[in-house]
Amino acid sequence: MAEYLSIGPVDTHTAMWIRDAARKEKLPTIANLDNPEFFPYRWGQALWAFIGGRWGDSKVAQIYRDALRSNDLDVALKNATGFNAKDLSSEWHTAIHAQYDPILKANAKIGTFARNVTESDKEKLAMNVSPSLSPDGKRIIYFSSRDMLSIGLFLAMDSPTSRAHAMKRSAAGVSVRFFSRTSAIGQGRVGNSIGSVLML
């Protein structure tokens, strides 16, 4: 609920999560939302946005109050929407597919026209974020957790045989504390016109 109350019902980051889960057929039910496998901020925001959009924002507050008083989420959901948690999950999933399936069908999967430069990362919680393309389009840099003990800055080249490799150690192996201060997600990198110089 925190994301929904602070950001509102529309968020491109959350939309990305939902769209990806819909494509993979891995949408959580309401009962799944206390499972750490599903990020509660994103999925909570998505669920409350669905409820608020269909039944009105006042129902979100009603569900919250009823759940506290009755200590029964099913009762609170039923009172506000007419559906218990299981049936409401089905309604939610149907709405997600109605919104995103046409988009997914109209767009080709990235694997059909591009090469995954992070495919060697097999860890379930591998992190590869904040990509930035060089001006000449031949290089891409990104932060990655593939070093295991630190978050490094990696460079991938435009070559059929090349694999992503670490940049000079002065740029790789940064601490998590430093990484947090760089606001890496959503922050662009700046380079010269030929891509030989990089500035964070």
| pLDDT band with cut points at 50, 70 and 90 for residue 4 | confident
- Non-local CB neighbours of 115 within 8 Å, separated by 6+ positions: 160
For residue 9, what are the CA distances in angstroms to 12, 30, 45, 61, 193?
Answer: 10, 17, 7, 14, 39
Alpha helix segments (H runs only) across 39-197? 40-55, 57-70, 73-81, 85-106, 176-181
> What's the pTM value of the predicted model, to 2 decimals?
0.62
Please state, in angstroms and rounded to a whole number, the distance separating the CA atoms of residues 141 and 143. 7
Q: Over 90: is that where the pLDDT of 150 sits?
A: no
pLDDT in tens, 60-87: 999 999 999 999 999 999 999 999 999 9
Residue 58's SS3 state is helix
Q: Would you list the domain boundaries of the chain?
A: 2-107, 128-199
Is the pLDDT reported for residue 39 higher than 50? Answer: yes
Taking residues 155-182, report their average pLDDT: 53
Q: Please state, in angstroms and rounded to a whole number, the distance separating the CA atoms of residues 197 and 134.
A: 10
